[in-house]
Structures are given as structure tokens and as C-alpha cells.
Structure 1
Amino acid sequence: MKPLFNSKRILVFILLPLIFSCSRRNLGYFSNYGEEKVLTEAITLNKKQPVIQSGDLLQITITDSNPAAAAPFNRISSNSSTTNSSTSNSQEGYLVDENGIIDFPILGRIKIGGQTKAEAKLSLTNLLTNYLGNPIVSIRYLNYRITVLGEVRSPNTFLVPSERINLIEALGMAGDLTIYGKRENIKIINEANGVRTVAQLDLNDKAILDSPYYYLQPNDIVYVEPVTARKDQSSLTRSNISLFLGIVTAASLVILNFR
């Protein structure tokens, strides 16, 4: 009796589920840059300066040609073992309240929310000229952080001491995307001044280098969406399920063929 199924047909039944479960994906970054070995182009993107907002913790240091005169304007931490008011790590942070206001020594309550650091420095300098001959104001964030979630190898919240970070650097800090990360749909979530913005960027497209969202703002959230295969995954991946079904189908056909 001629077998109903030969080995070639059985192999086809095994491979078909795998073929249909796989799809071609572009896992590269900036894929449309072309084949040039060296490409030089002007940088057109100007980094957007962060705006001070409620919840920010700022270190503000005041110096002057007369250190004794500047000392009362520097709030010294009670845990500091130094008496030098110009030492940056001896300064307490100023927490910006929900109205964008900080409590500053001698000057009292000052509204700096909604300003960039440069604007806040200028405002404080103008106020301090009433008390000091040549005041110099230094401002830095103590809680400049970004959060990277989703299909990355090490999702986490990261502090950024340099106060400057772009999307690629943030993904690098999180260990880069997994193979399940949807590179064409990276979400940047920003909340500032009561407004939430959600931007979508495509890592396959070099145009993100000129996007206003390429450089991250304080407290930004980067979310890497999983591909459909990852969403459908439970205890096994879709490919494993397909392989399992293919083997079961093939085994059933073999059994029926030899009965």
C-alpha cells in the first residue's frame, strides 16, 4: 500500500507554521542613511533648554568678590562639615513648589517656575545686585532624571548629572532594545506646566536626529513598545507554539500513515 504521506510532505507541514509566524523586521538604526562610508551634514537641531517646573530640586550657589557678603545667600546643609559657602556639595537643594516658587535666604519667596536655568540665573542676579557688588549665580539640577521602560534590557530610572541626554544615550543606559522592541514606534512622554506631550519617534529613520524630542527633558519617560509577537506571548513564544503544533501535526500524520 502506497503511503499517504511521504517525508517531504511531513517536512512541509512542520515548516509551514514557522514560515507564517516569522516576519521580516528592520532592527537597524538610521537605516535610510544610505551606503556612504562618511557622511557630513550640518546640525540643524538646537537643543531645547529645560524649563524649571514644580518638583524640581535645584542647587543654587551664590558667589561674590566678597565671600563674607555672599555667605548669607547660601543655605548650608546641617550635615555639611565645611564652612566654605562656595563648596558645591555643601549646598542644600531648593525644591520648587506646585506654584513654581522657592524660598530663598533673605530674598524670600521667588517664582522661577516656567523659566530656563539661564532665565532664572538672570532673575536672581538682578535681585542680588541690591545686596552684592558682583554676584555670580550658579544653578544645577539635583534630580535631573529620565525613565526608560518597555522592551529594553535594563528598564530603570536614571539620574543625569550632565543635565544633557539624548534618546540614543538613554537607550544605551538601559542596555539597548531587545529584539522584541518596536524600533519604529518609540514614545517620549513629557509633562511640563500642566501639559502632557506624547511624541513618537522612528529609530529606523535618521530624521529623529533633527526631532525636537531627540534631546530629553527632565523627568521624561521613554517607552519602547513590544512587537505584536511579544504582546501575544504568554508562557511560550508564538514561534515555539507554532513549532509545537507543527510537530504534533506531523506526528499525527506519521501515526495515521503507518496504521
Structure 2
Amino acid sequence: MKYPHFLRLPALGLFCIFLATSCVSRQEIVYFQGLEEAEAKMEEQSNKSLKIKPNDLLTISVAAAQQDAALPFNLPVIGVPMGGDQIGLSVNGRQQLQTYLVGKDGNIDFPFLGKTKAEGFSQEEFAQNLKSQIKRYVQDPIVNVRVVNFQVSVLGEVTRPGTFNVQDDYFTLPQALGMAGDMTIYGKRDNVLVMREENGRTTHAYLDLGDADIINSPYYHLQQNDVIYVEPNGPQRQSANYNRNAGVYISIASVLVSVAVLLTR
């Protein structure tokens, strides 16, 4: 069956457009290309651990064989439970510890030790620092430090955008994207924005997930309150400009074309 000449050119044009938009190269989709070369330049991972900053909230627990000696270093949250007059709050049978706010000067006020520098340490480093000082009062203390306000926000073309609480001391951009359900097929993998608050100012970087060398970027290892934004790709941006009635118009056009074909047989 031969179609009228006026129908052949539009059909050919649509076919060409389909071919052009359906061909996506491996470089545009695959993550971490050139990983071997990037690993050769990779720095020691211990330097990438989360660092304590001003305005962080810390919980600090101290334990020892003689727990009575360690008790003064564990400040419980003080409160009055409903129906009683006891002090100390617990959740699931565990006593909740008071949080320490890291001041703008980078210090916390700690029992017996007074002003203690926290800024710039990792959680493990700060725990070791406290342990060395608490040894003057407690034999063989065990100290655990946790940053409890470690959150990252993932926005844009991901499956589940939102703000996520992080428990790990070492957290990376792929882990954050994984918590958000990964990027959608419409996200730009070569231009992922990471914004960060540092020393009272906002800094940022654009990372190419297709390039494995991002593992050496300081923005690959996330910090407190980092914001990740995945930009939509070209076709997705263009679709935002489409008329919402475009589907109706296309359906009407398809019917008219079908009628024209039947009439010209």
C-alpha cells in the first residue's frame, strides 16, 4: 500500500527523530569509568573521615570496669516522666545521653575537663583525645563519640528526594544517591552539584559520575548538611515546556492521519 506523498515526509522525520533520541552512548550512562587510573591516585581513606565542626551536636559515652567512676562523665537527659517524679529519660530501655553543642570556637564544655577542643577531629580521634585526658580520673576508660546531626539532602532527578540521617563516620556521594533510590534515567550524570557550608560560607562543586576520578574530589566524601542536586537532562527540561494538551493534540492528529490514509486507498 502506498501512502500519499504528504504523509511520507512527516513519517520519515519522526523515524529519524526516534533514532536520534533512542541512541545513548555508554559514556552518558555508566558510572566510574577509568576506575583503575583513579585508584592509583587515591589518597589514604582515613583522612576522609567525618570531621567535627562548630554547631555539631555530639553524644559522648564513657564506660569502665568500675562504672561508678565513669558515671560523672555521662550526663543524662533530665526530665520528669508522665505519672512519676523520677529523673532520667530512656528509650527502649537505654538511657539517653545529653548532647554537647560544639561552639563557634570549636570547643565543648565537658565534665571535669572543662573547655575541650573538638573541631577538626574525626569522631574516633576525638574519642582518643578524651580518653587520654579521662585516664587521670578513670582506669582504662572506653570513650565513644557520635555526631548526631549528620544529615545530607538529595534533590532533583532521583527516585526518592529528601533529607537523610547518616550514622556512618565515612559517607560518600554514591551512598547518598543510593539512599535516595539512585538517579533516574533523566538525571545528568556528568554535572551533579554538591553544596557545602564551610567556615560560614557556601562552597560547591560539580561532579561527573561517569569519571571515576571523582573519588579523589573533596566533595566525594560528604560532610554534615551537604546538599546534592541532580540536574535534569536536556529532554527532561524540554518536556517541562510542552503543552499539557500536547497528548490530546497528538491523538487528534493520529486520527486525522488514519482517516486520510483510508480515504486515499
TM score, norm. by length of structure 1: 0.75
Q: Could you tell which deviates more after superposition, 109-118 or 62-71?
A: 109-118
Q: In structure 1, what is the equivalent of residue 226 of structure 2?
A: 220
SS in 2 for 1:182: coil
SS in 1 for 2:188: strand
| Residue 45 of structure 1, CA deviation | 3.5
User: Is 1:80 matched with 2:89?
Assistant: yes
Q: In structure 2, what is the equivalent of residue 93 of structure 1?
A: 99
TM score, norm. by length of structure 2: 0.73
Q: Which runs of 5+ in 2 are unaligned?
A: 79-87
The residue identity in structure 2 corresponding to 1:230 is: Q
User: Is 1:138 matched with 2:147?
Assistant: no
Q: Could you tell which deviates more after superposition, 61-70 or 174-183?
A: 61-70
CA distance in 1, matches of 2:243, 2:44: 43
User: Is 1:198 matched with 2:204?
Assistant: yes
> Aligned to 1:114, which of 107, 120, 123?
120
Q: For each residue in 1:176-235, what CA deviation from the matched residue of structure 2 results, as whole angstroms up to 9, or x when unmatched?
A: 111210000112222233343312211112222343332222222211111133233336
CA distance in 2, matches of 1:185, 1:19: 25
Contact (CA 8 Å) 2:52, 2:147: kept in 1 or not? no
Aligned residue runs from structure 1 range 1-259, under 5 A: 5-15=5-15, 24=24, 26-32=28-34, 44-47=42-45, 48-78=48-78, 79-81=88-90, 90-234=96-240, 236=242, 244=250, 247=253
Residue 132 to residue 202, structure 1, CA distance change in 2 (3 Å): same
Q: Which runs of 5+ in 1 are unaligned?
A: none
Q: Could you tell which deviates more after superposition, 183-192 or 130-139?
A: 130-139
| Residue 89 of structure 1, CA deviation | 5.0
Identity %: 35
SS in 2 for 1:232: helix
The Cα RMSD (Å) is 3.8
| Residue 100 of structure 1, CA deviation | 2.3
| Residue 151 of structure 1, CA deviation | 0.8
Residue 24 to residue 121, structure 1, CA distance change in 2 (3 Å): same
| Residue 74 of structure 1, CA deviation | 0.7
The residue identity in structure 2 corresponding to 1:64 is: A
Q: Could you tell which deviates more after superposition, 165-174 or 16-25?
A: 16-25
CA distance in 2, matches of 1:122, 1:31: 38
Contact (CA 8 Å) 1:189, 1:222: kept in 2 or not? yes
The residue identity in structure 2 corresponding to 1:169 is: Q
Residue 237 to residue 173, structure 1, CA distance change in 2 (3 Å): farther
The residue identity in structure 1 corresponding to 2:181 is: G
